[in-house]
Chain A
Amino acid sequence: MAAASLALASFGGVVQADPHPWQLNMERGASTWSHVPYDLNNISLAVCVVIGVLVFGAMFIAMFRFRKSRGAVAEKWAHNTVLEVVWTTIPVVILITLAYLATGGLTSWADTTGSQMTVKVTGYQWKWRYDYVSYMGKPIEKVGFMSKLDQQSDDTRQLDSGMDPYAVKVGDEHTYLLNVDKPLVVPVDTKIRFAITGGDVIHSWWVPALGWKLDAIPGIINAAWTNIKEPGTYRGQCAELCGQDHGFMPIVVVAKSKADFAKWLAEQEAASKKASPPPAPFDAAAAASASNSVPAVPQG
């Protein structure tokens, strides 16, 4: 059931799967803030293209007009104060404009106040741990799990496995190296604060659709926030070299409607309560149901 609903959320056409073949540019992303880097990227690229066309255009005109083979005779001047002042000033004005835009975007990113939910993210060699700290002002008890590369990708990625990376799919989506056994499940329309740290070496938690990455550093807890607009499955990867399996510790965030999330969270809490009394003898059934009730991303 969980798998089916998740599949619906993933492939119901809510969000385009990223990355996709021949993708040329950054995507707008899925959070309330993720348009900031996207817009800055596009604006600064446009500015660079215009400057590039002007400068390289002038160069090419010079290369065609002032060729010795066309009889060009070299002029003697080597200085023009007006010109030099102009081409020092114009870049300054452009830079101030870009800096103004970037400053606004950065300030809004840095403001983690007013969050409605907190998740602790810990990077390990080579998996992620998610601990749910609080939701809507209430502490969450004992909901936390490891999230690592899915089995099919892991089998396929072995040297000379003979297996086809194109065969690693969830529905129509190619998920080779971008799928996990247990995704991070979060609600939409909620300001979620992430407390990010590292357990051994430095990692970096990056889901492109959220618009940022932030290093997971042992001994330091970094904070960032997101507010996802659309339900969906968002994929990312560790972005800081962290050892041999750095390329094999993806991140999957599943955003659900608030109602679905509340239901999911209640199930998790119930399962952890049932499974938790430490002195009790090991309850195989409870453990199994606990692991089953975590909605795994469907495997192929």
Chain B
Amino acid sequence: MSYAATHDQHDDHHGAPKSFFQRWCMSTNHKDIGTLYLIFALTMFFIGGSFAMTIRAELFKPGLQLVQPYFFNELTTMHGLIMIFGAIMPAFVGLGNWMIPLMVGAPDMALPRMNNLSFWILPFAFILMLSTLFLPGGGPAGGWTMYPPLSLQSDSLAYVVFAIHLMGISSIMGAINIIATILNMRAPGMDLLKMPVFVWSWLITAFLLIAVMPVLAGAVTMLLTDKYFGTSFFNPGGGGDPVLYQHVFWFFGHPEVYIMILPAFGIVSEIVPTFARKPIFGYKAMVFALACIAFLSFIVWAHHMFAVGLPLGADLFFMYATMLIAVPTGVKVFNWVATMWGGSMTFETPMLFAIAFIILFTIGGFSGLMLALVPADFQYQDTYFVVAHFHYVLVTGALFAIIAAAYYWLPKWSGRMYNEFWGKVHFWNSVVWVNVLFFPQHFLGLAGMPRRIPDYNVAFANFNMISSIGGFLFGASQLIFLGVVIHCVFFSKKKATDRVWEGAKGLEWTVPSPAPHHTFSVPPVIHDEELAHGNVHA
């Protein structure tokens, strides 16, 4: 039995500390910290979601019924910041924390104390940012992109900039930890090209994070000095340039978009082979496509700025570079379909979310391709078409992948099976209502409705009402998810097996369920045929 060393740890003699404070606040354990990240992300998801519900309620019909326009702008700004930096990114870091050591046969993350610090910065950063909503002058209201000069009019700029600095420090530390773990802590025999695609996706994402988070920090620091220290980086009155901010911001912002989707690609690349009971199609192509997309993400930033009035040559360059991304992304989608082809599929909840991811993310990719065409973008830019596009890639893309991952690994984390019936209820509600929510927004954008407006002409009323109804029901559906998770962790009677899923392969399924507090204290002996991607010849 090749994993004997691991299975000897059943008695869990270095168990978790008994005191609550010691266990959770002082933790250096990758599993506990992963859990903290996931709980934090779920909390932020519901806070950011409540902002979204208020936005959709105000947009339910024409006329202002609930909130003042300025507060509406605070809501859209906060919704973006919270969902991006508070929900999606920490959720991926949590999944990485939990699963990367288990997947590469490492006993823990390489830098466990820094791991604790990088998590515990986050609650303070978000309390600081959310507190601005209750301060005189209100929260940030210039959009999550914080374009000057508008963002310089905000009274809460200093709070938000400091919060972003903290989040950036947290992300950079998390990224360093993940790179150090993957490059140094793999069990003997776990070659780079035998690693799970999820681990590959995180390795590449971590490099993106280290590359661009300092850029964001620089951009917001320049905002800070422009507002409080009399500099004129972005102030034309002092010789500055408001467009400079947009270049710097999107040099961060576009790789950021891929930071939020590459780990999702990794997750789906693990789930689809498991439930198709067939190895992933074109493993090397999948890894290469990830690297390609990561590289291209650095040279497409100005496609967010086509309406800024760039020179013709710049418009053309960024259009071509953006269109190129469709090639590696297409390869990934085709490879997932080819993985399913000839498989022996079952459709448990993780697989359902993964399949919905492939289809709906691809729809988001289609609108992305349309947006890349500069003349068409002149019409789409800053309309609900863009809102629909990025919610397809971030909600039915990143979020669906996170939910799929939660269902997929929850039995390994908790040692219990979630309720499959309620999981499926959650899935079908989510997938129906999310489309009712976001698909009509394409039509609104094409008909000419700008984004970030609290009120609109009556011609936009029908689709806004449909979208709001979809939004409320999608939001309510996520309470089912909360229920399923709570039931699974605390009440489920059904014990999970070690392997959990019939077709599951890889080191994480060789440890007991629930995964004991310490795993792989002795490196496992690796047998290629038991890895998900152990026999890669292509």
Chain A residues near B (Cβ < 8 Å): 18-26, 36-37, 40-41, 44-45, 48, 51-52, 55-56, 58-59, 62-63, 66-69, 72-81, 83-84, 87-88, 91-92, 95, 98-99, 101-103, 105-107, 109-110, 156-161, 163-166, 174-178, 196, 200-202, 204, 206, 208, 211-215, 217-220, 222-224, 236-248
How far is it, in angstroms, between the C-alpha of A222 and the C-alpha of B311 when the chains are bound? 10
- CB atoms of B355 and A37 under 8 A apart: no
Chain A CB within 8 A of B344 CB: yes
Question: Given known contacts A66-B276, A78-B283, A176-B458, is B376 in contact with A88 (CB within 8 Å)?
Answer: no
Beyond A56-B359, A59-B340, A79-B281, list 14 extra A-B contacts (CB 8 Å).
A25-B443, A41-B379, A84-B285, A87-B334, A88-B330, A105-B374, A105-B375, A106-B374, A156-B63, A211-B378, A220-B309, A224-B309, A242-B150, A248-B69
Q: Which residues of B contact A107 (CB under 8 A)?
A: 312
Shortest 5 CB-CB contacts between residues of A and residues of B:
A219-B236, A247-B453, A79-B538, A222-B309, A23-B447
Chain A CB within 8 A of B343 CB: yes
Q: Which residues of B contact A59 (CB under 8 A)?
A: 337, 340, 355, 358-359
Question: Given known contacts A52-B363, A159-B68, A247-B455, is B446 in contact with A25 (CB within 8 Å)?
Answer: yes
- CB atoms of A76 and B345 under 8 A apart: no
- CB atoms of A74 and B370 under 8 A apart: no
Question: Given known contacts A41-B376, A79-B282, is B149 in contact with A247 (CB within 8 Å)?
Answer: no
Min CB distance, B506 to chain A, in Å?
A: 15
- CB atoms of B307 and A239 under 8 A apart: yes
- CB atoms of B312 and A68 under 8 A apart: no
Chain A CB within 8 A of B137 CB: no
- CB atoms of B355 and A239 under 8 A apart: no
- CB atoms of B320 and A99 under 8 A apart: yes
Question: Given known contacts A26-B379, A40-B373, A78-B281, is B333 in contact with A247 (CB within 8 Å)?
Answer: no
How far is it, in angstroms, between the C-alpha of A123 and the C-alpha of B195 when the chains are bound? 54
Question: Given known contacts A87-B330, A159-B64, A213-B378, is B242 in contact with A241 (CB within 8 Å)?
Answer: no
Q: Which residues of A contact B128 (CB under 8 A)?
A: none
Q: Which residues of B contact A79 (CB under 8 A)?
A: 281-282, 537-538
Q: Which residues of A contact B346 (CB under 8 A)?
A: 67-69
How far is it, in angstroms, between the C-alpha of A266 and the C-alpha of B340 when the chains are bound? 71
How far is it, in angstroms, between the C-alpha of A62 and the C-alpha of B237 when the chains are bound? 61
- CB atoms of B456 and A98 under 8 A apart: no
Q: Which residues of B contact A236 (CB under 8 A)?
A: 448
Min CB distance, A148 to chain B, in Å?
A: 15
How far is it, in angstroms, between the C-alpha of A165 and the C-alpha of B64 when the chains are bound? 10
Q: Which residues of B contact A245 (CB under 8 A)?
A: 69
Min CB distance, B347 to chain A, in Å?
A: 8
Cβ contact of B150, chosen from A109, A202, A222, A239, cutoff 8 A = A202
Interface centre among B358, B450, B463 (most CB of A within 10 A): B450
Chain A CB within 8 A of B421 CB: no
Q: Which residues of A contact B446 (CB under 8 A)?
A: 23-26, 41
- CB atoms of B379 and A211 under 8 A apart: yes
How far is it, in angstroms, between the C-alpha of A67 and the C-alpha of B378 when the chains are bound? 45
Q: Which residues of B contact A20 (CB under 8 A)?
A: 447, 459
Chain A CB within 8 A of B462 CB: yes
Q: Which residues in window 179-218 of B have CB below 8 A to A? A: none
Q: Which residues of A contact B312 (CB under 8 A)?
A: 106-107, 110
Min CB distance, B112 to chain A, in Å?
A: 36
Min CB distance, B365 to chain A, in Å?
A: 9
- CB atoms of B70 and A244 under 8 A apart: yes
Return 13 A-B CB contacts under 8 Å, by A number: A69-B346, A88-B330, A92-B327, A99-B320, A102-B374, A156-B63, A157-B63, A159-B64, A176-B457, A215-B307, A218-B149, A240-B307, A241-B451
Interface centre among A73, A78, A84, A239 (most CB of B within 10 A): A78
- CB atoms of B281 and A95 under 8 A apart: no
Chain A CB within 8 A of B147 CB: yes
Chain B interface size, as a band, is 35 or more
Q: Which residues of B contact A247 (CB under 8 A)?
A: 69, 450, 452-456
Q: Which residue of A lies closest to B453 (CB)?
A: A247
- CB atoms of A72 and B455 under 8 A apart: no
Q: Which residues of B contact A201 (CB under 8 A)?
A: 148-150, 153
How far is it, in angstroms, between the C-alpha of A244 and the C-alpha of B153 when the chains are bound? 11
Chain A CB within 8 A of B131 CB: no
How far is it, in angstroms, between the C-alpha of A27 and the C-alpha of B374 when the chains are bound? 17
How far is it, in angstroms, between the C-alpha of A177 and the C-alpha of B147 when the chains are bound? 25
Q: Which residue of B lies closest to A169 (CB)?
A: B458
- CB atoms of A165 and B375 under 8 A apart: no
- CB atoms of B341 and A74 under 8 A apart: no
- CB atoms of A41 and B64 under 8 A apart: no
- CB atoms of A58 and B443 under 8 A apart: no
Cβ contact of A158, chosen from B64, B66, B309, B383, cutoff 8 A = B64
Min CB distance, B246 to chain A, in Å?
A: 9
Chain A CB within 8 A of B519 CB: no
Interface centre among A161, A176, A245 (most CB of B within 10 A): A176
How far is it, in angstroms, between the C-alpha of A81 and the C-alpha of B282 when the chains are bound? 9
Q: Which residues of A contact B355 (CB under 8 A)?
A: 59, 63
Q: Which residue of B lies closest to A163 (CB)?
A: B63
Q: Which residues of A contact B498 (CB under 8 A)?
A: none
- CB atoms of A243 and B153 under 8 A apart: yes
- CB atoms of B448 and A18 under 8 A apart: yes
- CB atoms of A40 and B242 under 8 A apart: no
How far is it, in angstroms, between the C-alpha of A237 and the C-alpha of B461 when the chains are bound? 16
- CB atoms of B243 and A220 under 8 A apart: yes
- CB atoms of A72 and B343 under 8 A apart: yes
Q: Which residues of B contact A200 (CB under 8 A)?
A: 149
Q: Which residues in window 67-110 of B have CB below 8 A to A? A: 67-70, 73
Chain A CB within 8 A of B65 CB: yes
Q: Digitize B356-399: 1 where CB-to-A-CB distance is under 8 Å, 0 elsewhere.
A: 00110011001101100111101101110000000000000000
Min CB distance, A166 to chain B, in Å?
A: 5
Interface centre among A87, A161, A201, A241 (most CB of B within 10 A): A241
- CB atoms of B362 and A98 under 8 A apart: no
Q: Digitize B226-237: 1 where CB-to-A-CB distance is under 8 Å, 0 elsewhere.
A: 000000000011
How far is it, in angstroms, between the C-alpha of A242 and the C-alpha of B308 when the chains are bound? 14
